[in-house]
Amino acid sequence: MSVQAEGTFYVQAIGLRPKIQVSADGSGVVGHAGARLLADLADATGLTAAYSTALRPLRPRGTGHDPGRIATDLAVMLADGGEAIADLAVLRDQAGVFGSVASAPTAWRLLADADERTLASLRSARAQAREVAWMQAAEQGEGIPA
């Protein structure tokens, strides 16, 4: 992060998510901005990429949405209080914050195609990303949260 002006920060975009500007002036206020931090954390720890690898067999050739990104967006939606796949619309309606978010039918097809082997791969991907997060925290000398 670099300081642009007092109280204003530019946040580097990770992956295909749009670059956002954070300011304290109250203009351009968006809801659910904190959920973007979860998406960025998933990208920074390699979770999104690991989900993409685990879900690659489920992605039809030529489709527009990466399955790992769909899985991450679903997790972010749930953490943000969503209760149904249709709640992805909350993220999709804020394209300036979250970028392109899959439709509910696209997410539904991904979930419907997942089997036990896919779920085991997702669990392994999550464990790897968790280990990366703990190592990143240790590198910063912050230790593991209680």
Tens digits of per-residue pLDDT, 15-40? 568 777 777 776 666 666 788 889 99
Residues 17, 39 contacting (CB under 8 angstroms): yes
Q: Which residue has the tokens 């679903």?
A: 74
Cβ within 8 Å of residue 79, ≥6 positions away:
35, 38
Q: What is the pLDDT of residue 137?
A: 82
- Alpha carbon distances (Å) from 112 to 71, 98, 104: 12, 24, 12
What mean pLDDT, rounded, does the chain reach? 82
> pTM for this one?
0.77
The pLDDT assigned to 4 comes to: 41
If one counts every other C-beta atom within 10 angstroms of the C-beta of residue 18, the result is 14
On the question of pLDDT at 9 being above 50, the answer is no
- 103 pLDDT tier (thresholds 50, 70, 90): very high
- For 57-93, the pLDDT digits (tens) are 887 666 678 999 999 999 999 999 999 999 999 999 9
pLDDT at 102: 92
